[in-house]
Amino acid sequence: MSAVIEEHHDHHDHKPSGIGRWLFSTNHKDIGTMYLWFSFIMFFVGGAMALVIRAELFQPGLQLVEPEFFNQMTTLHGLIMVFGVIMPGFVGLANWMVPMMIGAPDMALPRMNNWSFWLLPGAFGMLIASLIMSLMGMGSAPNFGWTFYAPLSTTYGPASTDYFIFSVHLMGISSIMGAINIIATIMNMRAPGMSYMKMPIFVWTWFITAYLLIAVMPVLAGVVTMMLMDRNFGTSFFNAAGGGDPVLFQHVFWFFGHPEVYIMILPAFGVVSQIVPTFARKKIFGYSSMVYATASIAFLSFIVWAHHMFTTGMPVAGELFFMYATMLIAIPTGVKVFNWVSTMWRGSMTFETPMLFAIGFIFLFTIGGFTGLMMCIAPADFQYHDTYFIVAHFHYVLATGAAFSIMAAVYFWIPKWTGNMYDEKLGKLHFWLTAIGGNILFFPMHFVGLAGMPRRIPDYSLQFAEFNAMATVGAFIFGFSQLIFLYNVIKTIRGGEKATDQVWEGADGLEWTLPSPAPFHSFTTPPTVK
């Protein structure tokens, strides 16, 4: 097929044009851009679903949607935010930044990189198609929650569940290839002198995240495969009548699921560890302890999964083991928070938008960490489990945690990506509306949760009404302020004050030695690292 090897085009730094540039790309920046836009679009799709949920919950009683449709909304909202927004968002950042930070020309396996990306539209196309069919009255979209517990997803799952299963397979293949690529890039493409312990923390956190992905995405593939077999070929994995156990589903799922939540937070730690030193104009406090803390969190994440299953009737020894193991995670996490705060201590700080989001992250993520500690106490969790308290917990770590860090990263690096400064006023406005809206939205969930309001229901008793109304108001503030973000990003791409190469006064690292905007191929000759 390729007898064209002789014809060496020599277009240095000349971008391919047209749609082909994106479809056939082998360029880490273009692929990173596609990941980030995909994530951004999905953020609005998943966000719209969240607003449907919140609108229905504005008042007790059923107003807007059928309970069946409500279930499809919670399910797809969760799946899209986890697999379609946070994960691709971080992969997009990794694609853009890892080669630049380690002094490489591109990712190690550029074609596979493009394949990883393009599988995502295929996977989410299938998922969203089932929702469109459902809106047209043909069957139901997945309706069993993002955790798709058996038997809801096996015995009782709608026909679209089988498409969902394969959509998860495609996402899994995409993530595994992406992770392999990141590992190969970091192990093999570092510039001379860039030893492991000199790598920026963002690179370190992604390195470890990639191992988590390779270890658990196949397990997710395994559990959906067992679902497929139980649904269509009469196996009994999750069916007690044949000697299986529905609780087995939860074990396999959460063996994936808990490392998965760290997959969504470790790169966030990395982003914050880049931003805080820059705007405090100091070196990061405790570099090596950051690295070791990340590695211990990753290790511990494999032995805590059943803290999601305290109420399933595990033997007491199991409850205790998973309770204490989970508590241990607070130690390395605490080390990180301590280091960020110490980095700021006596720093010469300024508060540009990225720093605001990073500090917002440290505050709000830590609130989520504390509620996590409350829930990991097994006897207490009997009260919290499956209530809005959990919803509050994971939105503090994911929305005001992981998502905040992605926003921080975009503001931090967009001058390098586009060569233009973003509009600082709009950026600050975006931050304050998001932070205030987010807290009005998620904080009351703690109260209704502690008072016993169950999650994933379209209706609730009267005593929860005020806090739910508040949360809905917060949701609309939070949601619509993202349009400012969109506007600001587009405005920055279109033009604006020119950015310098270093961009930020306190910025340190290889990516800031490249021109802004960064050239199409990052480092075509390896830079030297002192």
Partner 1 sequence: MSTTNHGDYFIPEPSKWPIVGTVALTTTVIGVVNTIHSMQAGGSMSLLLPIGLLLIAYLFFGWFGAVIDESMAGLYNEQVDRSFRIGMLWFIFSEVMFFAAFFGALFYARVFALDWLAGGSNNAMTNELLWPGFEGVWPLLTNPDNAAIPGPKESMGPGGLPAINTAILLLSSVTVTIAHHALRQDHRKPLILWLAATVALGVIFLFLQVEEYVHAYQEMGLTLDSGIYGSTFFMLTGFHGFHVTMGTTMLLVMLIRAIKGHFTSDNHFAFEAVAWYWHFVDVVWLGLFIFVYWL
Footprint of partner 1 on residues 184-223 (CB under 8 A)? Answer: 184-185, 187-189, 214-219, 221-223
Binding segment toward partner 1, per CB under 8 A, in 56-64, 228-236, 336-344, 376-384:
228-236
Give the one residue of 385, 416, 430, 446 binding ligand HEM; rule: CB under 6 A.
Answer: 385
Partner from partner 1, Cu ion, ligand HEM, none binding residue 397, C-beta < 5-8 Å depending on class: ligand HEM
Binding segment toward ligand HEM, per CB under 6 A, in 388-396, 442-450, 479-487, 521-529:
388-396
**462: contact with partner 1 by CB under 8 A:** no
Other Cβ atoms closer than 10 A to 303: 15
Cis peptide before 218 (omega within 30 of 0): no
- Residue 51 CA, distance from chain mean position: 20
Which residue, 179 or 391, has its beta carbon nearer to partner 1?
Answer: 179
Instruction: Let me know: does 267 contact 206? Beta carbons within 8 Å.
Output: yes
**410: contact with partner 1 by CB under 8 A:** no
Partner from Cu ion, partner 1, ligand HEM, none binding residue 114, C-beta < 5-8 Å depending on class: partner 1
Interface mask toward partner 1 for 300-329; x: CB under 8 A: ---------------x--------------
Q: Among this protein's residues, is 174 annotated catalytic?
A: yes
Q: Among this protein's residues, is 54 annotated catalytic?
A: no
Crossing angle for the helix pair 266-280 and 353-375, to the nearest 10 degrees: 140
Task: Report the greatest alpha carbon distance in the chain.
Answer: 76
Q: From residue 308, how far is each of 14, 250, 304, 430, 445 by CA, in Å?
A: 51, 9, 9, 34, 19
Instruction: Let me know: does 68 contact 143? Beta carbons within 8 Å.
Output: yes
Q: Of 109-128, which residues contact partner 1 (CB under 8 A)?
A: 109-112, 114-115, 117-119, 121-123, 125-126
Partner from partner 1, ligand HEM, Cu ion, none binding residue 5, C-beta < 5-8 Å depending on class: partner 1
Q: Of 97-126, which residues contact ligand HEM (CB under 6 A)?
A: none
Give the one residue of 329, 406, 435, 507 binding ligand HEM; rule: CB under 6 A.
Answer: 329
Q: Among this protein's residues, is 395 annotated catalytic?
A: no
Which residue, 219 or 473, has its beta carbon nearer to partner 1?
Answer: 219
Give the one residue of 128, 212, 264, 399 binding ligand HEM; rule: CB under 6 A.
Answer: 264
Q: Is 454 helix (H, G, I), strand (E, B) or coil?
A: strand
Which of 146, 296, 312, 428 is an active site residue? 146
In angstroms, how far is the first alpha carbon of the chain from the final one? 45
Task: Return the residue nearest ligand HEM (CB atom).
Answer: 372
Instruction: Let me know: does 410 contact 486? Beta carbons within 8 Å.
Output: no
Closest CA to 298 of 183, 385, 402, 204: 204
**154: contact with partner 1 by CB under 8 A:** no
Task: Return the residue nearest Cu ion (CB atom).
Answer: 258
Closest CA to 198 of 513, 525, 508: 508
The pairs formed by 320-324 with CB atoms below 8 angstroms and a separation of 24 or more are: 320/378, 322/378, 323/376, 323/377, 323/378
CB of residue 81 to partner 1, shortest distance in Å? 22
| Cα–Cα distance for residue pair 284/24, rounded to 1 Å | 39
Give the one residue of 94, 131, 252, 298 binding partner 1; rule: CB under 8 A.
Answer: 252
Partner from ligand HEM, partner 1, Cu ion, none binding residue 18, C-beta < 5-8 Å depending on class: none
The kind and range of the H/E element at 330 are: helix 316-344
Which of 455, 456, 491, 521 is an active site residue? 455
Sign for the CA dihedral angle at 463, 464, 467, 468 comes to negative
Which of 25, 33, 153, 175 is an active site residue? 175
CB of residue 220 to partner 1, shortest distance in Å? 8
Which of 204, 262, 422, 504 is an active site residue? 262
Residue with tokens 């809801």: 152
Crossing angle for the helix pair 316-344 and 266-280, to the nearest 10 degrees: 20
How is residue 219 written in tokens? 């397990």
Question: What contacts 27, CB < 8 A, 6 or more positions away?
Answer: 15, 106, 110, 520, 521
**379: contact with partner 1 by CB under 8 A:** no
Closest CA to 141 of 189, 192, 77: 77
Sign for the CA dihedral angle at 46, 50, 51, 56 comes to positive
**208: contact with ligand HEM by CB under 6 A:** no
Which of 116, 273, 366, 434 is an active site residue? 273
Q: Among this protein's residues, is 21 annotated catalytic?
A: no
Annotated catalytic residues are 77, 106, 146, 174-175, 258, 260, 262, 273, 307-308, 333, 336, 455
Binding residues vs ligand HEM (CB under 6 A): 147, 261, 264-265, 307-308, 326, 329-330, 333, 369, 372-373, 375-376, 381, 384-385, 390, 393-394, 397-398, 401-402
